[in-house]
Chains A and B, each alone.
Chain A
Amino acid sequence: MNYKKILFILIIIFLVLLGGVFILRRDSSLYNPSNLGFAEPVGTLRIAQNDELQANINTFMESQISEGALGKDNYHCANILYGYDDGYAYAWVYCSGFILKENGEFEQGSASSGLSRLEYGEDFQIIKLEPPYDHPPGLPLPQPLFPKKIYDMGRPSSAEFDALHQEIYNKARSASLE
């Protein structure tokens, strides 16, 4: 095969790839994260740990368990606190119920996992989770919730998520022994 043919094939491949990139860029506007917008922090945004706030988030979220949840009698939460400003805590919260089987093993029940904004008051006590916990799944949020800096921190890594899972699994195990 001569060089002209090789060049022709390479040009065709290049054009196909170029066309693909063009389509991707055009359609990506349909699924653009910036459509969601970002919230302004209340006062100063601190990217810092706060053990009291972190513990209060777990306690509050454990109280939000739905009546219909599987494993609601052994329901626990753990979180990664991304930061907080003067009104809200921003955390990745993971909660799950556990069902104790006859063989002594746990089966995971209803669970949730996600970036959450929680309003807090005096002594870092959590007042409410925003948006309302029963916000219809799949519908866009009524307003931006997260400052860009928080949003950009993204989802926990697999290792971080496994650590969260282990933490609530240990809580479930301890509770079952009490």
Chain B
Amino acid sequence: MFVAVAIAAAVLAANAAAPIPAEAANSIDRQAIVDYAYRYWHNYNPDYRDFNNTGSRGGDCTNFVSQALRAGGWRDVWGLDYKSTSVWWYWKWPPFQSWTWVNANKFFWFASGSGRADIVNISADLNRRFTLQLGDIVQIDYERDGEMDHSMIVTKKDGYDIYLTYHTTLGRDRQDHKFLDIYGGSPGAAYYGWHLHDS
């Protein structure tokens, strides 16, 4: 019995999420999201799996976004159906996660149904990017086929643009990359923002 309890306790301890500050427990701490992005844009957090350079769409980008959102106060939504778009969780050991945690398109549908964020159709009006705040998320559908390909975090704003931090399949993680530069590279793509609810 002792062995069984010890194993269960060890697994649960290994999977305990990073403590969320009391003041952020029921609200979004945008600065915590930005701080997390800056801390781990190049220095991958060993507490999570690394999906970079995997050849899959989006690589590590959505995994990185999910980690930052959790650091900012988003709580895991547990469910056994890890493919479902109504769950969003990460299990540390043995390492596993819902598909919404790591897949850009699945994350899109989770966010849309979660009640945690409002969608901002940037493609319809580029000026809408200014409504995004620090810690909000930007996603790209390059082929406009309705499948999201990439996810990024808004980490800086100035009078003219927003800057984004992200992980990519290229192994070229960029910090504070300007939205208009990314847009200029793929003007035919569809761009969506997720404006996080503050509480």
Q: What B residues does A33 contact at CB under 8 A? A: 53-55
B160-195 interface bits toward A, Cβ cutoff 8 Å, 1 = contact, 0 = none: 010100101111111111101110111001000000
B18 on interface, CB distance cutoff 8 Å: no
Tell me if A45 counts as interface (CB < 8 A to partner B). no
Closest chain-B Cβ to A30's Cβ sits at a distance in Å of: 6
With known contacts A13-B8, A23-B96, A114-B171, A140–B57 Cβ distance under 8 A: yes
Using known A-B contacts A30-B56, A35-B54, A66-B181, determine if residue A139 contacts B169 with beta carbons closer than 8 Å: yes
Known A1-B1, A13-B8: A20·B169 in contact at CB below 8 Å: no
A31: contacting residue among B51, B170, B181, B185, CB under 8 A? B51
B-side contacts of A31, CB under 8 Å: 51, 54-56, 102
Q: CA of A111 to CA of B82 in the docked complex: distance in angstroms?
A: 34
B125 to chain A, nearest CB (A): 20
Q: Is the CB of A155 within 8 A of B44?
A: yes
B-contacting residues, A1-54, CB 8 Å:
1, 5-6, 9-10, 13, 17, 20-21, 23-24, 30-37
Pick from A17, A115, A134, A138: contact of B150, CB under 8 Å: A138
Residues of chain B within 8 A of A67, CB atoms compared: 181
Q: Is A124 an interface residue (CB 8 A)?
A: no
Residues of A within 8 A of B156 (CB): 70
Contact B56 A158, beta carbon cutoff 8 Å: no
Contact A131 B181 (CB under 8 A): no
Interface size on A, residues (CB 8 A): 48
Known: A35-B54, A36-B54, A131-B170. A108 touches B7 (CB 8 A): no
Residues of B within 8 Å of A115, CB to CB, are 53, 171
Chain B contact patch, size range: 35 or more
Identity of the chain A residue whose Cβ is nearest the Cβ of B180 in the assembled complex: A68
Answer yes or no: B124 CB below 8 A from chain A CBs: no
A13 to B102, CA, bound (A): 27
Are A69 and B178 in touch, CB under 8 angstroms?
yes
In the complex, A110 has a CB within 8 A of chain B = yes
B142 on the interface (CB 8 Å rule)?
yes
Query: Which residues of B are found within 8 Å of A112, using beta-carbon distances?
Result: 172-175
A70 contacts across to B, CB distance below 8 A = 156, 163, 176
Report whether B94 and A137 are in contact in the complex, using a CB–CB cutoff of 8 Å.
no
Chain A's closest residue to B52 (CB) is A155
Contacts of B61 in A (CB 8 A): 137-138
Contact A139 B173, beta carbon cutoff 8 Å = no
Name 13 interchain pairs, CB-CB below 8 A, sorted by A: A17-B94, A23-B82, A66-B177, A69-B177, A70-B176, A96-B175, A112-B172, A114-B173, A135-B170, A137-B150, A138-B168, A140-B57, A151-B53
Q: A5-B1, A9-B1, A137-B166 are in contact. List 19 more A-B contacts (CB 8 A).
A: A6-B4, A13-B8, A20-B94, A23-B82, A24-B95, A31-B55, A32-B55, A33-B53, A67-B181, A68-B181, A109-B176, A111-B42, A113-B41, A114-B173, A115-B171, A138-B166, A138-B169, A141-B170, A158-B43
- B contact set with A: CB distance below 8 Å: 1, 3-4, 7-8, 41-44, 51, 53-59, 61, 82, 94-96, 102, 104, 140, 142, 149-152, 156, 161, 163, 166, 168-178, 180-182, 184-186, 189
